[in-house]
Structure 1
Amino acid sequence: MFEVDALSFSYGRESQRILDEISFSVRKNECVAVLGNNGAGKSTLLKCIDRIYPADEGMVRVDGQNLYDMSKRAMAQHIAYVPQTAATSGSMTVFDTVLLGRRPYITWDATTQDKEIAIDVIEKMGMSSFLLRNVSELSGGETQKVMLARALAQEPKILLLDEPTSNLDPCNQHEVLHLVRRIAKEHDTCVIIIIHDLNLAIRYCDKFLFLKDSGVYAFGGVETMTPEAIEQVYGICADIIEHKGMPVVVPYIG
């Protein structure tokens, strides 16, 4: 179980709060979409969870343990974060970059098991053909998949993804989110995804966290994805229809 309890954050004492008492919980195997307009605090929330930004108040727990009390090494064994634009070393190969995900577990040198885990993730991501290519030779979308693979190799209990499909074509968007969802189910991972495409969210996520005015507007299952919520949070009208047994969000200007 992963819990965020009354998390608050501002950039200074006199600043307006970017996040104001954010609370929600995620069970193992669940994928949660973080939704909201630009500037709603979605990326800030993930950075506070990952201790990149120090929260003003609140607590983050993993299986009852306070994440903020953990050492950096212990925390890295629990949580992995993939930002919108991840820093990479162009001189490193895809394999070496993904193997870095095993660093929280390596005491002296990478073991055979560490290398096998890295290769297995690379294969699942469909990147075996450029295993030994330098990251600098890859496209933006391919680099994004490498960064996700590095996080998956970390085998975290909590996986934080900030717009993981932003540089991917439609086919790769579905492939990556399908893989993330499958890995969450297979490895008891809690996944928290910032995503702008409501149809990708409703197809691949179990729960939805709507942020508005620094707080939680709504949190829950598919029942929270309503035309009313979309209009209140995004300021746009939408219908939700069913196509081949799946809900589809159809936005329009009212």
Structure 2
Amino acid sequence: MIRISGVTKTYDSEKVVDDVSVDIPAGGVTSVIGPNGAGKSTLLGIVSRLIQSDGGSVSVDGHDVSTTPSKKLSRILSVLRQDNRVAVRLTVRELVAFGRFPHSAGRLTREDEEAIDRAMAYLELEEFSERNLDELSGGQRQRAFVAMVLAQETDYILLDEPLNNLDIKHSLAMMKLLRRTAEDLGRTVVVVIHDINFAAAYSDRILAMKDGRLVHSCTPAELMTTENLASLYDVDLTVTEVAGRPVAVYF
């Protein structure tokens, strides 16, 4: 379980995360949604220790992220940031191998190579193993970064807007992959996402943020009402049902 207790973060006197407390249960997919500037990515950054909070605490499986040694935390928790560009030319396999650094410290063992093979096979990247990242499509490149995170083999996986720059086809494939990762591999996946319909279709739980505060923590079915979403995004919309699922329609 990820336990977030009274977490706050302020930039230039503006609270971007305002006293957020919530427990994210182990297992399944939890999506963090909300309008731009809601504090979603900042909260994820605090949970992953990429950003230092101004107050409150975060623990993952009982380990305080602010005090747990990096080597230990990196075997529990992995993160894919929103800006995942690399400055050097790498092949797909070289990128995925970075996910093993917490285990190998740069000296890959047979166990590390097997973990890399598993991650690449799971994301169907074997044929691109020796291709450079800059030779791949956006969807293929995003899969390579997710493979890097999977190769780390942590129980908790955090992803900040993994659908960025993906078209509908590749976004759908990515959400199906994250759902499969949670179910097949028993991982806990927490994802910041803008598309409420993707979140509703593939998540077990949704955290909705607005103006730095957590306004909903519930199942997709509980969140997906016209009143809830119109209030969250300050837009005219309606929630209808398509193929047995609630869908937000904007107008």
Determine if the TM-score, normalized by the shorter chain, exceeds 0.5.
yes
Q: Quote the Cα distance in structure 1 between the aligned partners of 2:55 and 2:6.
A: 7
Task: Output the amino acid matched with 2:233.
Answer: Y
Question: Once structures 1 and 2 are overlaid, which stretch shifts more, 103-112 or 49-58?
Answer: 103-112
- Residue 195 of structure 2 is matched in structure 1 by 197
On the 8 A contact 2:119/2:151 being kept in 1, the answer is yes
Q: Quote the Cα distance in structure 1 between the aligned partners of 2:174 and 2:138.
A: 14
Q: Quote the Cα distance in structure 2 between the aligned partners of 1:215 and 1:103.
A: 35
- Residue 207 of structure 2 is matched in structure 1 by 209
Q: Quote the Cα distance in structure 2 between the aligned partners of 1:142 and 1:234.
A: 31
- Residue 78 of structure 1 is matched in structure 2 by 76
Q: What is the CA deviation profile of residues 39-63 of structure 1, one whole-angstrom value per residue up to 9, with x for unaligned ones?
A: 1111111111122211011111112
- Residue 243 of structure 1 is matched in structure 2 by 242
Q: What is the CA deviation profile of residues 167-186 of structure 1, one whole-angstrom value per residue up to 9, with x for unaligned ones?
A: 22222212221111111123
Q: 1:100 to 1:188 in 2, by over 3 A?
A: same
Cα deviation, residue 210, structure 1:
1.0
**SS where residue 217 of structure 1 aligns?**
strand
Q: Quote the Cα distance in structure 2 between the aligned partners of 1:230 and 1:144.
A: 29
Is 1:48 aligned with 2:46? yes
Task: Output the amino acid matched with 2:231.
Answer: Q
Q: Quote the Cα distance in structure 1 between the aligned partners of 2:228 and 2:103.
A: 42
- Residue 233 of structure 1 is matched in structure 2 by 232
Q: What is the CA deviation profile of residues 87-137 of structure 1, one whole-angstrom value per residue up to 9, with x for unaligned ones?
A: 324422101110110111115621222112212211221222211111122
Is 1:5 aligned with 2:5? yes
**SS where residue 214 of structure 2 aligns?**
strand
- Residue 121 of structure 2 is matched in structure 1 by 123
Q: After the TM superposition, which residues 59-138 of structure 1 pair with which residues of structure 2 at under 5 Å, given as runs?
A: 59-107=57-105, 109-138=107-136
Q: What is the CA deviation profile of residues 130-178 of structure 1, one whole-angstrom value per residue up to 9, with x for unaligned ones?
A: 1111112223332222111111111122211111112222222122211
Runs of 4+ in 1 over 3 A off after TM superposition: none
Question: Once structures 1 and 2 are overlaid, which stretch shifts more, 2-11 or 138-147?
Answer: 138-147
- Residue 145 of structure 2 is matched in structure 1 by 147
Q: Quote the Cα distance in structure 1 between the aligned partners of 2:135 and 2:158.
A: 26
**SS where residue 26 of structure 2 aligns?**
coil
- Residue 35 of structure 1 is matched in structure 2 by 33
Q: Quote the Cα distance in structure 1 between the aligned partners of 2:142 and 2:87.
A: 13
Q: Quote the Cα distance in structure 2 between the aligned partners of 1:169 and 1:113.
A: 35
Cα deviation, residue 11, structure 1:
2.2
On the 8 A contact 1:28/1:188 being kept in 2, the answer is no
Task: Output the amino acid matched with 2:97.
Answer: L
On the 8 A contact 1:163/1:195 being kept in 2, the answer is yes
Taking structure 1 as the reference length, what is the TM-score of the superposition?
0.92
In the alignment, structure 1 segments of 5+ residues that lack a partner are none
